Every structure is written in structure tokens, then in C-alpha cells.
């Protein structure tokens, strides 16, 4: 390998790794000096001139010219008769500069130098990627799906760096194909086997927070603050927001006109339901807002500030709990309270429409009861089992089961 080939190969590294010109020159000079030290044990009297843009690499050895036969140090001195072979005009006492070619160092030395070069570039690149993404933890990045495995997806950023999106950090309804564009937040950056490992996440609350910052200018500008975010990825999220300007409605600003701002976020999160809640330091009011859309009758907080007993009308209980229990679970995480839901005491109970029992009683049975004028639970219980058998076409066993179901609602 000659100087031109070395420069050309190094230029390939430079273009691929996107190393700046100054750093590139320092790396090349370091590995060349390492080769000189191995050959001559001292590099203090060597000049290295590098111009990667033109493909120039020059190595000059500088020695003082002494009279023939008076050389005391081969590293720093050269005989007159040897000096004039380099340049006939040289005289004793002058400094002779002799150019050394890369190929003069021998094949083994050149291969060793190239290995050092590759190692230094790879080490620099890994360190550069680590530092870059360590500073971007919590930021959203956009990448391209390059490889799909069972437990994770390999994503390439715009510079070709490899990022990892684990299955557990994906929204359950996420589906990606090779070549798809994916947005995620940088969750964690580690070094594994001396290589940086960048973990992405689409389930992190930080991902939702960054999406709000992108969609809502008031949040980006600091006029609205996100106090807390809790999520059940793909199902539901609750976002507590607060405005420092009384003229700004934080909830309205986040949702946008006709939901224009929040729709884009919902689509990105695979139709995850997002409740935007006006934050307040009043715990009881905050719990009430967090359990939306359910309407609460009353709340009792324990003295330790850890548990909240929430009382609701029967038709509001299912709304408070939510599908799969997500609503009450997220409300607890958002407020910091362990929330227990209670139906109002029997004395305060209002009647319950029979349609509320559609998940326990077949609809044709409900229609049969409505046909005799019973459209609420209490109206059925007041008639009694015997009269119900006489007035409907229902079996006695069926009526007994219905009464047990309706009674359990008031217990």
C-alpha cells in the first residue's frame, strides 16, 4: 500500500463515518507516528504533512549534517556523503530533510498501521454515537425500519446508525414492515461490549410528552406545563396540564379546535384514548377530574393521604372503572392515591335501568319484563317472584336468577 492508496482508503472511512477533517488528520498522524516509533524508537525529528482533500501524504525525516565518520547519533545526525545523495547542495552543519515513502516501512508495518487506523476510527465512531444519543435521551427521533425480529426491531437513523426498538417498548397494536418510517423517543443509551446500544420506546410517557410539545405551541413555548403523564399504551392515557396564563385554557389548547391538535397524537399512538385534565393542587378536585368521564357524588380521603374512597351512583361505576379497569388504574397513578370505588348507600340509591344489566341478562328477557311495565330493577323486585311467573312467559328458575342479579346490585 502506497500513500495514495492509504489516503484513498482513509477518505472512504471519512465519508462513511462522517468524521470531520481536523479529526481525520489527527487520527492519521497518530497512526503514522506510531509506525515511526516502532521503526526508529523516536519521532521527534519527523514531520508529517497531510492533505486528505488532495490525497497528499508526506513523511520527512530531519537530521543534522556532520562530517564523514563523525556521526554519534543515527537518529538525529547524517554523514555529509549521505546527505549530498539527497541534495547535492547540502553543507555540513545544515539540516537535511529526507522524504520517506509509506512503502519503505515494509508490508507488515503498513498492515499494522491500517489495523490501528481502522480501530481508532471505529472507537471514535462508537464514542461519538454514544455521546450524541446520551445527550438526546427523551428526544423523539425518526428512523427507518431495517430489520424485524421476534423480540425487537432494528431501526436506522438518517446517518445509518443502528437503533433498537424492543417489542416491550412498542404499542401492542404497532405493526411495522421493512422500510416503514417509525417515530419513537430515545429511552436509554448503554455501552455493551464496547459498542453503544440505543434503546427506543413508543410506550414511554416521555414519547407522549414530546408529541404534545410538537403539536401544541403553548407547551413548547412554556405557557402550558405538563405536570404528569400516565399511560396504558394503546389503551388510554391521562395528561395533567397547567397554564401559567389565566387567559389560556390548557385543556382546550391541548385538544385544539374540534380536536385538531390531539387527533394527530391519537393516530400516532394507534388510537390510544387521551384524557387531558386540568391540574389542581386540590386533591379531591384532582381525583374527580382524573376519574372523568364518571361523575362523582362524594370523596373521602384518609388522613395519611394515600387512600381515597369515591362514591358514585350505580350508573357511573362502570365509567369510573373503565374498560379493563384502565380508567381507575390510571387515575390512581396520576393522583398518587389508591382509589376505591363505592356505590352510594342504599338509602341514597336511585333506581337502575334494566338496560344496565344487559351484560348479565339476555336482552329478550329484558324485553319480556318491559312488556309488563317493568323498566327498572326496583320495579321488578317490587312485583315479586310469584307474580312475575304469572305475568310473564318466563320460567320460575329464570325469574329466580334475575331477582338474584338485581338484588346484588343493591347489596
Percent of the chain with pLDDT over 70: 92
Partners of 79 in beta bridges: 66
Percent of the chain with pLDDT over 90: 41
pLDDT of residue 348: 45
Query: Could you report the per-residue pLDDT of 298-317, keeping only the tens digit for each?
Result: 898 987 778 998 988 877 88
Same domain? 127 vs 8: yes
Same domain? 13 vs 125: yes
pLDDT confidence band for 52 (50 / 70 / 90): low
Task: Provide the CATH number for the domain around residue 367.
Answer: 1.10.150
pLDDT of residue 9: 56
Same domain? 32 vs 94: yes
End of a domain among 100, 131, 162?
A: 131
Does a structural domain hold residue 303? no
In DSSP notation, 19-86 reads --HHHHHHHHHHHHHHHHHHHHS--TTEEEEEETTTTEEEEEEEEEEE-TT--S-TTTEEEHHHHHHH
Does a structural domain hold residue 136? no
Where helices occur in 101-242 by DSSP H, the ranges are 107-134, 205-215, 217-220
Does a structural domain hold residue 87? yes
- CB atoms under 10 Å from CB of 305, counted, come to 10
Q: CA-CA distance, 91 to 241, in Å (whole number)?
A: 84
Average pLDDT, integer, range 273-289: 94
Task: Provide the CATH number for the domain around residue 112.
Answer: 3.30.1480
The answer to whether 235 touches 203, Cβ cutoff 8 Å, is no
Q: CA-CA distance, 256 to 279, in Å (whole number)?
A: 18
Q: Which helix (H) or strand (E) holds 91?
A: none
Query: Could you report the per-residue pLDDT of 102-154, keeping only the tens digit for each?
Result: 777 777 877 887 788 778 777 888 888 898 899 999 999 999 999 999 999 99
Does a structural domain hold residue 215? no
Q: CA-CA distance, 121 to 19, in Å (whole number)?
A: 9
In 3D space, the residue among 346, 361, 275 whose CA is nearest the CA of residue 314 turns out to be 346
Same domain? 10 vs 124: yes
Burial class (CB in 10 A: 0-12, 13-18, 19+), 301: middle
Does a structural domain hold residue 86? yes
pLDDT of residue 7: 56
- CB atoms under 10 Å from CB of 53, counted, come to 9
Same domain? 52 vs 119: yes
Q: Which helix (H) or strand (E) holds 279?
A: none
Burial class (CB in 10 A: 0-12, 13-18, 19+), 190: exposed
End of a domain among 87, 102, 131?
A: 131
pLDDT of residue 211: 96
pLDDT at 10 over 80: no
Same domain? 43 vs 95: yes
Query: Could you report the per-residue pLDDT of 162-215, keeping only the tens digit for each?
Result: 999 999 999 999 999 999 999 999 999 998 888 899 999 999 999 999 999 999
pLDDT of residue 11: 54
Average pLDDT, integer, range 328-353: 80
Does a structural domain hold residue 376? yes
Same domain? 67 vs 162: no
Does a structural domain hold residue 20? yes
Query: Could you report the per-residue pLDDT of 69-82, keeping only the tens digit for each?
Result: 888 888 888 888 88
Radius of gyration of the chain, Cα coordinates, nearest whole angstrom: 38
How much is the mean pLDDT over the chain?
Answer: 86
Does a structural domain hold residue 226? no
Query: Could you report the per-residue pLDDT of 372-403, keeping only the tens digit for each?
Result: 777 788 888 888 888 888 888 888 899 999 99
Q: Which domain holds residue 33?
A: 3-131
Q: CA-CA distance, 388 to 383, in Å (whole number)?
A: 7
pLDDT at 357 over 80: yes
Same domain? 14 vs 109: yes
End of a domain among 131, 164, 185?
A: 131
Same domain? 78 vs 171: no
Helix axes of 21-40 and 3-17: crossing angle, nearest 10 degrees: 140
Same domain? 174 vs 113: no
Same domain? 91 vs 173: no
Count: domains in the chain: 3
Query: Could you report the per-residue pLDDT of 246-260, keeping only the tens digit for each?
Result: 889 999 999 999 899
Task: Provide the CATH number for the domain around residue 189.
Answer: 2.40.50
Same domain? 56 vs 95: yes
Amino acid at each position: 500500500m502506497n500513500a495514495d492508496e492509504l489516503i484513498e482508503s482513509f477518505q472512504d472511512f471519512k465519508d462513511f463515518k462522517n468524521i470531520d477533517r481536523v479529526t481525520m488528520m489527527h487520527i492519521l498522524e497518530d497512526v503514522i507516528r506510531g509506525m515511526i516509533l516502532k521503526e526508529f524508537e523516536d519521532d521527534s525529528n519527523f514531520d508529517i504533512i497531510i492533505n486528505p482533500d488532495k490525497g497528499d501524504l508526506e513523511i520527512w525525516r530531519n537530521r543534522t549534517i556532520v562530517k564523514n565518520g563523525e556521526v554519534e547519533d543515527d537518529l538525529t545526525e547524517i554523514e555529509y556523503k549521505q546527505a549530498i545523495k539527497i541534495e547535492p547542495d547540502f553543507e555540513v552543519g545544515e539540516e537535511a530533510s529526507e522524504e520517506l515513502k509509506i512503502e519503505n516501512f515494509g508490508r507488515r508495518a503498513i498492515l499494522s498501521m491500517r489495523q490501528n487506523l481502522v480501530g481508532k476510527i471505529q472507537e471514535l465512531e462508537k464514542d461519538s454515537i454514544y455521546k450524541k444519543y446520551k445527550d438526546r435521551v427523551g428526544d423523539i427521533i425518526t428512523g427507518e425500519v431495517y430489520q424485524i425480529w421476534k423480540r425487537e426491531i432494528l431501526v436506522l437513523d438518517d446517518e445509518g446508525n443502528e437503533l433498537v426498538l424492543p417489542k416491550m417498548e412498542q404499542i401492542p397494536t404497532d405493526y411495522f414492515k421493512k422500510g416503514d418510517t417509525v417515530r419513537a423517543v430515545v429511552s436509554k443509551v448503554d455501552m455493551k461490549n464496547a459498542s453503544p446500544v440505543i434503546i427506543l420506546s413508543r410506550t414511554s410517557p416521555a414519547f407522549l410528552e414530546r408529541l404534545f410539545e410538537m403539536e401544541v405551541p403553548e407547551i413548547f413555548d412554556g405557557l402550558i406545563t405538563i405536570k404528569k403523564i400516565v399511560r396504558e399504551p394503546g389503551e388510554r392515557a391521562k395528561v395533567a396540564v397547567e397554564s401559567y396564563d389565566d387567559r389560556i385554557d390548557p385543556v382546550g389548547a391541548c385538544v385544539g379546535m374540534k380536536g385538531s391538535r390531539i387527533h394527530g397524537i391519537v393516530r400516532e399512538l394507534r388510537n390510544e384514548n387521551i384524557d387531558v385534565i386540568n391540574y389542581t393542587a386540590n386533591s379531591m378536585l384532582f381525583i374527580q377530574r382524573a376519574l372523568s368521564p364518571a361523575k362523582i357524588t362524594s370523596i373521602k380521603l384518609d388522613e395519611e393521604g394515600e387512600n381515597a374512597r369515591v362514591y358514585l351512583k350505580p350508573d357511573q361505576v362502570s365509567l369510573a372503572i373503565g374498560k379493563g379497569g384502565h380508567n381507575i388504574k390510571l387515575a390512581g397513578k396520576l393522583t398518587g392515591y389508591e382509589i376505591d370505588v363505592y356505590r352510594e348507600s342504599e338509602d341514597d340509591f336511585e333506581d337502575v335501568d334494566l338496560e344496565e344489566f344487559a351484560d348479565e341478562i339476555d336482552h329478550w328477557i329484558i324485553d319480556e319484563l318491559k312488556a309488563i311495565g317493568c323498566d327498572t330493577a326496583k320495579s321488578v323486585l317490587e312485583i315479586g317472584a310469584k307474580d312475575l311467573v304469572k305475568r310473564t312467559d318466563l320460567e320460575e328458575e329464570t325469574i329466580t336468577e334475575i331477582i338474584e342479579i338485581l338484588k346484588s346490585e343493591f347489596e
